[in-house]
Every structure is written in C-alpha cells, then in structure tokens.
Structure 1
Amino acid sequence: MPGGTGGTGTGGGRSEAVLSRLQLLVTRKLDGLLQGDYAGLLPGPGTEAGESREYRPGDDVRRMDWPVTARTTVPHVRRTVADRELETWLAVDLSASLDFGTGRWLKRDLVIAAATAMTHLTVRGGNRVGAVVGSGGPVPAPAARSRWRRAAPEPAAVAPLLFRLPARPGRREAHGLLRAIAGTEVRPGRTDLGALVDLLNRPPRRRGVAVVISDFLAPPAQWGRPLRKLAVRHDVLAIEVVDPRELELPDVGVLAVVDPETGELHEVQTADPRLRRRYADAAAVQRTAIADELRAAGAAHLRLRTDTDWLLDMVRFVAAQRHARTRGTTR
C-alpha cells in the first residue's frame, strides 16, 4: 500500500515542541496509572519464583509447576515475583512513510508519543530504558527510459541509519533518549524492520520488556522471524501506527499521491467507487496479515490512529492488560 500523500519534513524546532507537549500530556494523564508490584506497561511475570496456584485456561504452559501438579494431581502453575529493576528496550521505526498524517497528528508524532508514554511508564524505580532507532534505507533507482540505461550512472542509494541508545536509569537520561529519537533525521527509503528488531536480540539480555513502534508496512516475512525470536525471552509489545487514508480513500476526485519512501508520484481518480473498494479491500488484507504475524509471534498488539485519541486508546489497552493479568491469563 502506498504511504499516502507526501508529508512535510519534521524540523528540530517542531520536534522539540511536539516532545514537550507530549511529555506534559503523558505526565498529567498517565501519572500513577501503572503502579504496583509488576514490571512495566505489560505487567511482566518477572523471574523470581513465587507461590503456585491452580492452572486456568489461558495460562502459559511454560510456567507449569510439575512437582506440585504431580503431588496434587491437579495442574498448577508457578507464580513469579516481578523484578525490582526492569530493562525496557524500544525499537523505533522512523521510515519516511511515517512523516505523513491526515488526522490530528503525523504518524511520526504518534511514534514519538508512544515512545514518550512507554518511557514515562517504565523509567521509575531505577528501571532502565534504551532504544534502537532506524531511519531510511536503500531506495531503488528508477528505471531509465533510454535503451542505453546500463551505461548511465545510477543515483546512489541512501544508506540506512540504525543506531543504539544505551539503557540507563533516571528521568534525565530518559529525556535525553527521547530528544535523540525526536531529533532523528528522516531519510528516504524504508527501514529494514527485521534488522532493527534483531538489534534487540544482540547481545542477549535478561528478561524484560521490548516495544516495537512502527507502521509495519514492510512485508511481514521481513520482520516476523526476528520478532518471534525476541518474544522467546522478552514480553513484546507491538505498537502499530495507522493513518485513516491508509485504510480507505476519500471521494475527492483526482488525488495526487506521492510515496515518501521512493518519491514516486501517481494521480488517482478517487471518484471511481470500484477503485476505492479495491483499495479498502487490499488495505484490510494487509492489516490482517500484520495482525496475524504479530499474534503468531506472541506479541501484544496496540494500534494507534492519527485521527483518534491515542492516549485514551493506550489507557484502555493498559486496563485490559491489567485485567487479564489479574484473572491469571497471559494476553
């Protein structure tokens, strides 16, 4: 699916203003939302052994307490105590397709908002927060029209930008991490999301929380396997950022659409109902494939839209996660 109509670049001053606004919003509305004896946004089970209880449908079978089960002949699972210090890692995708939005926010703004909320919710109590960030990637050169195109020099591809921000405790360090994310230059091309997620698998770390923030427009085959590998050791949350124009086209006549990742320009006749229907059907298939791949990887899935109240969506998601944990189910 195309990334949508071209969005304007996000300058350093605008990034700072958006970040300041988001931090104030998150602090006022999310402060105190997640307090208690569990780890992070996903109330993690921790690694310290605790008491056993009877098995309930939905419990993780990997936490079966076999000695107690054998003694009582009733299936039991072992509870664990949440780690006192949690390490949270963010994988932040800042591909060119995210510098776009037709709602209240740009998709890039929602990425920064999600990173801000996650950092705010996990940085307390000595917890450490780190990030890996990706922006841009190789852009395929357009085919030359001349029959002598082999002799013509091809434009150089833009090198992908992948970098790591080390995990550190403290609010000041967390603020510096968010400023680095917000100030990242958006480059042409698409980030290799699989390579970005794989940065969280190397080197191996103790169990914690991993958050992947992206629009997930890259083919699921590219990032599905690294995500499944990540979920073996960590609680994984996938935050999908979506704009309504990526789901359906409005009836506005001829619409000029540019792919921000390749620069290709197309004119689309949106007055054609068959075209709008095909577009919506293709978008629905694409989003279903993304959701299925995230479910297969065992990741919790939160979708944020640029035209809705993202903070309310996040609060509802957190409440659902807490309720599921309280009932003893996994997700």
Structure 2
Amino acid sequence: MVSTQSQPLQDVAHWLTQHHSDGINLSIRELLYYQSKTSLLDLSPRKTIQAKLAGTYLAKTKGRGMEFDEARHYQPGDDIRAIDWRVTARTGKTHTKLYREEKERPIFILTDLSASMHFGTRFLFKSVQAAHLTALIAWSARKRGDRIGGLLYNQDQHLEYKPLTRQKAVLSLLSGLMQLHQPNQQRPQQLSFSDACARLRRLARPGSLIFLISDFSQLNDTARQHLHRLGQHCELMAYPISDPFEHSLPSVKVPQLVSVTDGNEQRTLLLGEKQTAKQYQQRHQQQTEAMVHLLKQCRCQVLPVSSAMPLEQQLANRR
C-alpha cells in the first residue's frame, strides 16, 4: 500500500492503526467508529415526503398532524372538533385549525461489494470505503430516528433488510457487510447491479430515501430503467466510489508492463508511455461523464467518493 498525494505513508499507517483497519479487510470496530461521526451527514429531506405512514417528518400536505399550520374559514364537512374558537370569537366567523401531517421516511442503503469493488492502490479498497459510508449513513439515520433498511450484494449472494428503527437494525446491517465482504472468487458472476436495483424496487416504498453506494461499473440500460422508476417516487443519492488509479495511470521513471484486472478480465498496461496514459485518462473521463449523466437522468444526486483518503475528511471538506 502506497501513500496518497496528500498523506505521507506514516500518516496512512497511523490512521489505519487508530481505526483498527488494514484497508483490505473489514472489522466491526472500524464500522462502530462511525457511530460518533453522524454530524458529517445531513439527512434532511430535499423532496416532498410521499410516504403514507405517520412519522417524524412534516409534509407539505395538510392533515391531522401535531404541527399547527394555519386557520381558515370553516367549510362543510370539516371536523367540528378542529374549530378554532378563539379566532371564531375574534372575527365573528367560524374558523377551522389545519395541521401539517407528519410522515415517515424510511432509508434504504444499496451497497455494492462485488468483485470490481475489491480494488485499491492507495489507502483503502473501494469495498472497505463503501462499508465505511454504509455504516455512517446507518448510524446517522439511527440518530434521527429513521427506519433503516438495506440491500447488500456481491457476485455470489445478496442480503435484504426491511426497515427498522432499533439499533439492532444497524448492527444487523454491519454484520451483513462483514459477511458479504469476502466473496467466493471461484464462482462465476451470478448477481449484477441491475439485479440489485430490481430487488430494491420491490423493497423500497414511495417516499424513501435511497443511498446507492457502488463504483457503477455495471450501470447499464436495465439498471437505469429500474433507477428511473425509483426516482419517480423516492429520493436517490448516488455515491460513486473510485480509486485514483482508475482516473489516471501512475507516473514511473522507467516504462514497464503491469497486469491489472477488474475482477472478471485481466489485461496488461504500459506505464510510463505518454500516449497510453493520455488515452487511458480520456477514456475514463468519458466513462465517468456518461455514468454521471445516466444517474442524473434518474434524478440521482451524485456525490463522488475516493478510496484514497478518509471518508470523514472528504465529507468535512464538502460541507
């Protein structure tokens, strides 16, 4: 493991030791760490809450909630128990109290732990960073009192979690991360990102806040269609996770051939050759722009995350 451009090697080693991580494998202690970092995320609703169940969020619609909104003239059919007698006495005309409905907003986290996520040249594997982000979102939702559900998957299997409000929901999710983080590399690819999106459509209810954590290397037209349907009734937050090596080839003094793999195919790259490096960077930039364009078409808010530096540092800088 090499140092990042912003962090010397000794700082990287100190961070990993302090957070009980080696950057490759997952430990429960490094996931529990984010319970104290919930202030890094703002989970306030950005869209109208469309859920039908009562909860803690004020909706724009009027109804029988706890939060007083306004008083208006009495209309035939209004509940006489809602008459505002003070305003009625002051104006001489019958007025009715209106309240803001309070609705719930379940939170779903889709976390990709497939083969392409088990890659990293600096600091952490993308899969480890994805697990850190999943833990942070889950703890933040728990602190707000939101119901937390999730769908975790690798190329072998998936785990589904129905939304719950108890701390047990977070711990179950973290346990699932630990379970799926070590896929069976001997088996052929069975599950894909589009499969996970299809399952998520059956799990998520209108009004949910959905976090998508992946490198989106398998984002195809089928997945886009599923996400487009989800985006019509839910709020989508996409966190593309990438490694610096995927953006540009490292510079070397002496040209050399290296072998690389995406988890499925293996190829060789020539390092130290300017034309190869330029073509590599341009191709990745085009792929990234296409991926972001597709996600935004599905009404996703796109927030890129790097595996090359601590998650809390990136979120603090973003805020």
Give the TM-score of the pair, scaled to structure 1.
Answer: 0.67
| 1:112 equivalent in structure 2 | 131
Counterpart of 1:186, as a letter, is P
Whole-Å separation in 2 of the counterparts to 1:274 and 1:82: 60
Q: Which runs of 5+ in 2 are unaligned?
A: 1-20, 51-58, 63-98
User: Aligned-pair distance for 1:260?
Assistant: 4.4
User: Aligned-pair distance for 1:256?
Assistant: 2.4
User: Do structure 1's residue 98 and structure 2's residue 117 form an aligned pair?
Assistant: yes
Contact kept, 8 Å, 2:108 with 2:204, in 1: the verdict is no
| 2:179 equivalent in structure 1 | 183
2:261 aligned residue (259, 275, 282): 259
1:87 aligned residue (97, 101, 106): 106
Whole-Å separation in 2 of the counterparts to 1:289 and 1:172: 39
- Root-mean-square deviation (Å): 2.8
Q: 1:208 to 1:309 in 2, by over 3 A?
A: same
Contact kept, 8 Å, 1:46 with 1:82, in 2: the verdict is no
Q: 1:50 to 1:176 in 2, by over 3 A?
A: same
User: Do structure 1's residue 132 and structure 2's residue 151 form an aligned pair?
Assistant: yes
User: Do structure 1's residue 278 and structure 2's residue 279 form an aligned pair?
Assistant: yes
Counterpart of 2:120, as a letter, is G
In structure 2, the residue corresponding to 1:201 is in which secondary structure? helix
| 1:27 equivalent in structure 2 | 35
Whole-Å separation in 2 of the counterparts to 1:265 and 1:204: 36
User: Aligned-pair distance for 1:219?
Assistant: 4.1
Whole-Å separation in 2 of the counterparts to 1:303 and 1:126: 26
User: Aligned-pair distance for 1:96?
Assistant: 0.7
Counterpart of 2:111, as a letter, is V
State the number of aligned residues. 248
| 1:324 equivalent in structure 2 | none
Q: 1:269 to 1:203 in 2, by over 3 A?
A: closer
Q: 1:110 to 1:32 in 2, by over 3 A?
A: closer
Deviations 1:76-97 (A, max 9, x none): xxxx968553311111111111
| 1:151 equivalent in structure 2 | none
Larger radius of gyration: 2
| 1:167 equivalent in structure 2 | 163
Higher relative contact order (CA 8 A, sep 6+): 1
Whole-Å separation in 2 of the counterparts to 1:190 and 1:289: 25
In structure 1, the residue corresponding to 2:250 is in which secondary structure? coil
Whole-Å separation in 1 of the counterparts to 2:41 and 2:266: 45
Whole-Å separation in 2 of the counterparts to 1:114 and 1:256: 31
Q: Which runs of 5+ in 1 are unaligned?
A: 1-9, 35-39, 52-79, 137-159, 320-331
Whole-Å separation in 1 of the counterparts to 2:204 and 2:30: 35
In structure 2, the residue corresponding to 1:103 is in which secondary structure? coil
User: Aligned-pair distance for 1:194?
Assistant: 1.3
Where do residues 129-278 of structure 1 align in structure 2 (5 Å cutoff)?
A: 129-136=148-155, 160-184=156-180, 185-188=182-185, 189=189, 191-203=191-203, 205-252=205-252, 253-262=255-264, 264-278=265-279
Q: 1:203 to 1:107 in 2, by over 3 A?
A: closer
Give the TM-score of the pair, scaled to structure 2.
Answer: 0.69
Counterpart of 2:130, as a letter, is V
Contact kept, 8 Å, 2:109 with 2:212, in 1: the verdict is yes
Contact kept, 8 Å, 1:96 with 1:187, in 2: the verdict is no
Where do residues 40-55 of structure 1 align in structure 2 (5 Å cutoff)?
A: 40=43, 42-47=45-50, 48-50=59-61
Q: 1:83 to 1:255 in 2, by over 3 A?
A: farther
In structure 2, the residue corresponding to 1:202 is in which secondary structure? helix
